[in-house]
Amino acid sequence: MKKNNNSIILKLYFILSSIFMFVACAQENKLTIEATKKIEKLESLMDEAKSKSIDVTREETTLWFSKEFLKFANWDEAHFDEIEKLFGYYQPFTSEKTKYAQELPDFERKKVIEILDKGILNLKKELDGSLKRRPVSKVDWQNIKVKEDMFVSYNKPVFLYDYFSKTVGQPLTNTSVYNNHLGAIYHGGSTLYEVNQDRAINPFILNEDGTFDQEKLKLITDIPDTNVGFMILWNMGMPDWAHKKDPELADGRSLFTGFDIDNPTARQVWSDVIQKAGSLTKGKKVTQMGYVLSNEPHWFSEKNHWTARFNEMTKLSSYTLNKFREWLAKKYNGEIDELNKNWISDFENFGSVEIEIPIDKIKRGTPIWYDWCRYNMDRSIDWFTFLQNQLRITNPDADTSIKIMPNMFTENARSHGIDLEALTELTSMIGDDAKIRERHIRKQEPEEWEERYSYFWEEMSVAYDFMESVSPNKIHFNSESHYLSASNWRKLDVSSDYVRSTTWLSTLHGMDAQLAWFWARDPDGSPEDRLEGELDFFDPALAGSFAGSVNMQPHVANEYTQVMMDLNSFSEEMFAFRKQRRPIRLFYSETSAINKKSHMTELFPMYEALYFEGFPMGYVTENIITKQDNSNWDVILVYKTEYVTDNEFNSLQSYLDQGGTVMIDSKESLSKNEYGKYRTKSLNASKGKLIVLNLDLTPNEIKDKVLNQISESLPEVILTESNGSEYKGCTWRVVKNPKGGYLMNILNIGKNSAVLKIIMKNGQTVNATDLLTGQKLGSIFTLKSNGVLLIEIK
């Protein structure tokens, strides 16, 4: 009887499973059929539009992604086990990996239908005259020109776009991967490399006898000289022969720099490698975007930091220690007694100085902490200066950048060895891999910013304004943008409005090219070669990167390209906004950032208060004051900056001596030197204007006072907003229109819709037109959260 019951249960299970599969297939067929009909409808409308000389470039991209993702959906459905496994590699999805894998194919099909509906609606409107779009300014990937502060295509500024990384295993010549829809930037990372050799320029191309591996060199020389591109120095490791030559080679390594940067063997290897690579690629189009000198460098050297799991700075090499001793001898002018007094130590001489690394975080704010952190930054500056100099021995005109993580600047940690100002100034292009995100995956409760904003924009905006202040006339290359996904945030249904807003905001802040993270689909729909089989990467985030990424979201992939098309169609207007003067400069001191536990956290509210007033924020430092034209700004604002070196203090006094205006939040700022000793001198007005405020004033109260100081530099057009909260959410800029009137760019990064009113400073009423759609707005209109407007004002 029990056997019969089991048999009946198995039959019922089979019947129910068959019904479920039938229903699922029917649903799949229904969605695919619906999408196919909409593709035919859009194609018909495109034919009609072409007959009327209406540009259909945007619709061509929508069609391409629609067809690709229908193919992807079929692959995902036919390979459930593989997709389930990939969801399982990303911890937040692990518990529901089966559910996600089951739902993914139809999710992709539904999103394809959504982008087709949008494309059909927009083209219908353009055909009936209710929508007017500027034709797309396409990117000529084969004929890009490089100027001082921009890329140029068809004699216009152009913003380049693509992915990092991109379909590893597929050749650069595969037009299913390199095209106008995904981007067509060439690079040295298309091959499935061996361990620690993810890019063509790496130490493993060098043999122990000083010759080069000819097969590995082909990975450099075989890159077609047809498309704009970039090369990146891959620092993950060293060949075995180098480790045998010097057993200390890996002491003091970091996560993505697998060797000691002070080690003479490492330096000799890289000197040979980079000079060879420079000579082989000199004048090639693949280097038009420069050589990226490092991938996400940092050397965190404090106790209990997460990077210690990867042996980052867990042991100092003798080379690093000896260089530190030399640095200290110079810093203290050879006076060991002065060091002993500062450190509360009793070393006989500088040659006997010892330091415990990783250093205890409890020492932050003490002289030993400052000296180590400052030296750690100086040695990384020395390393990148060395690399750049070696490259330019064989390629004197080589452009360079460094893929610096902007949170090295915007967050409070300072034991990481990254001096953003110095490294930005060093290279010929600005480099980074900025991220914007929604809620952090580890946060169960809303984050503080969620009360006011739609997404977390602080890291990108603060860092970009700082870098653009340091080097205002350089190309800015984000070689791994994390706006679509990142290891610490992921969302399987990212809003298209979010994609548009974040990309537009970053471009407004200075970004000239971006490689989004990441495109990993082969043309047949399968994950790239690197993601097949069992995944066990040194990089802990890589295995989980596919799950919930752009590779599963047709609306995200499509919108990323669509917004880049719109930006390129209005590239000249965007450059006008980017050249807008920065009248207020926040004073930044690396000295305070090193010493204080929360300097950047304390500084941000002042930046935030001034962010929504119609002009770009800026920064000054000792170097900016000394090296740049001081007429580029009206006032320097010093806020919660207690620790400064004598040179920093003197730069502010020199600015006052020349007639400048300095506003200080309180007498506490500038009161201490780098070692926490109180300064006997105070700033004096001299020929300038010195305003010392009350310690109890809020950032908004200080904002009002500083705006009064620059009243003549404020925009002629005024924007006011009402969004149902006490906080502003619309960041905007305004410039004169060469055709008459004004141009205004508005982004609502607030959490609520905003009712906006535009009026001239003199009270005159205006009329606004949306340049992206041709719609008349008048002077009062509503902008949704994540909305973007580019308007003409008359």
pLDDT at position 646:
98
- CATH superfamily assigned to domain 584-713: Class I glutamine amidotransferase (GATase) domain (3.40.50.880)
Averaged pLDDT score across all residues of the chain: 95
pLDDT, tens digit (0-9, with 9 covering 90-100), for 497-519: 999 999 999 999 999 999 999 99
pLDDT at position 267:
98
Domain definitions of the chain by residue range: 158-439+471-531, 584-713, 717-793
Q: Tell me, what DSSP letter sits at residue 294?
A: E
Task: Tell me the average pLDDT across 192-198.
Answer: 90
Asked whether the predicted pLDDT for residue 46 surpasses 70, the reply is: yes
pLDDT at position 539:
83
pLDDT, tens digit (0-9, with 9 covering 90-100), for 116-165: 999 999 999 999 999 999 999 999 999 999 999 999 999 999 999 999 99
Asked whether the predicted pLDDT for residue 203 surpasses 50, the reply is: yes
Q: How confident is the model at residue 1 (pLDDT cuts 50, 70, 90)?
A: very low
CA 368 vs CA 73, 166, 341, 591, 674: distances in Å: 57, 44, 11, 13, 11
Torsion sign over Cα 694, 699, 704, 710: positive
Q: Is 408 exposed, middle or buried (0-12, 13-18, 19+ CB in 10 A)?
A: buried
CA 526 vs CA 68, 86, 679: distances in Å: 11, 12, 64
Q: How confident is the model at residue 364 (pLDDT cuts 50, 70, 90)?
A: very high
pLDDT at position 193:
84
The token pair that represents 269 in the structure block: 């290897």
Asked whether the predicted pLDDT for residue 14 surpasses 80, the reply is: no
Amino acid at 538: F
Q: How confident is the model at residue 28 (pLDDT cuts 50, 70, 90)?
A: low
Residue with the larger pLDDT of the pair 6 and 211: 211
Residue with the larger pLDDT of the pair 533 and 377: 377
Q: How confident is the model at residue 541 (pLDDT cuts 50, 70, 90)?
A: confident
Asked whether the predicted pLDDT for residue 289 surpasses 60, the reply is: yes
**What residues have CB less than 8 Å from 680, skipping those under 6 apart?**
none
pLDDT at position 447:
97
Fold assignment, 158-439+471-531: TIM Barrel (3.20.20)
Q: Of 592, 588, 661, whose CA–CA distance to 620 is shortest?
A: 588
Q: How confident is the model at residue 247 (pLDDT cuts 50, 70, 90)?
A: very high
pLDDT, tens digit (0-9, with 9 covering 90-100), for 675-702: 999 999 999 999 999 999 988 899 999 9
The token pair that represents 88 in the structure block: 């399982």
Helix (H) or strand (E) holding 160: strand 160-163
Decide: 783 and 753 in contact? Cβ < 8 Å: yes
- Quickly count: other Cβ atoms within 10 Å of residue 122's Cβ: 17
pLDDT at position 435:
97
pLDDT at position 192:
83
Q: How confident is the model at residue 458 (pLDDT cuts 50, 70, 90)?
A: very high
d(C-alpha 428, C-alpha 430), whole Å? 7
Decide: 763 and 473 in contact? Cβ < 8 Å: no
Task: Tell me the average pLDDT across 45-69.
Answer: 98
Asked whether the predicted pLDDT for residue 13 surpasses 50, the reply is: no
pLDDT at position 586:
98
pLDDT at position 695:
80
The token pair that represents 541 in the structure block: 């985030």
CATH node for 717-793: 2.60.40.1180
